Amino acid sequence: MNMETKDVIMYIIKKLGSRIEGRKKFMKLMFLVEHFDTKNEKVTKDHTLGNQFFIYYYGVFSSDVMNSFNELVRERKIEDAYPISLKTKGKAELDEKLRRKVDWIVEKFGDLSGYRLEIETLKMLRIKPSEKNSYFGKEVKEII
């Protein structure tokens, strides 16, 4: 498992607290960490953590991220509830560049609901919600 991905998951949960809501919002925020260029304010093919995303039932989704999330649940470091929460006081430290990016994304998008983030991330990929099914299973890097 990607330790950096797990650190980012814990950092986002710690940063947002009860505003993290559920998996949908969390997954969209992880997509933004992975593919959003904060300088140009657009999605790019560049990967921050190396997780692959594709279009799924509720928009962008990553099995890689979900596996890291589930491992943190099994390790009893996070609780998969509503809202998702930390179960440990463990450190969720990131290097400065990554921390600045995650902080920027949380500041800009952290107050949006999971549904709103689904719509916004699809829009960033130039996909209308009504067109989502025609992109089902397609990798994000092929869409960008």
Residue 101, CB half-sphere, CA atoms under 13 Å: how many? Answer: 21
Quick check: 90 pLDDT over 70? no
Domain residue extents for the chain = 3-143
DSSP state of 139: B
Quick check: 89 pLDDT over 90? no
Average pLDDT taken over every residue of the chain: 92
- pLDDT number for residue 68: 95
Average of per-residue pLDDT across 140-144: 93
Quick check: 1 pLDDT over 70? no
- pLDDT number for residue 91: 65
Bridge partners (DSSP) of residue 36 are 43
Could you give the CA distance from residue 31 to residue 48 in angstroms, rounded to a whole number? 10
**Whole-model pTM?**
0.93
Could you give the CA distance from residue 15 to residue 19 in angstroms, rounded to a whole number? 9
The model's confidence at residue 19, banded by pLDDT at 50, 70 and 90, is: confident
- pLDDT number for residue 116: 96
Q: Which of 6-20, 35-49, 83-97 has the lowest mean pLDDT?
A: 83-97
**Helices 63-74 and 3-16 meet at what angle, rounded to 10?**
70
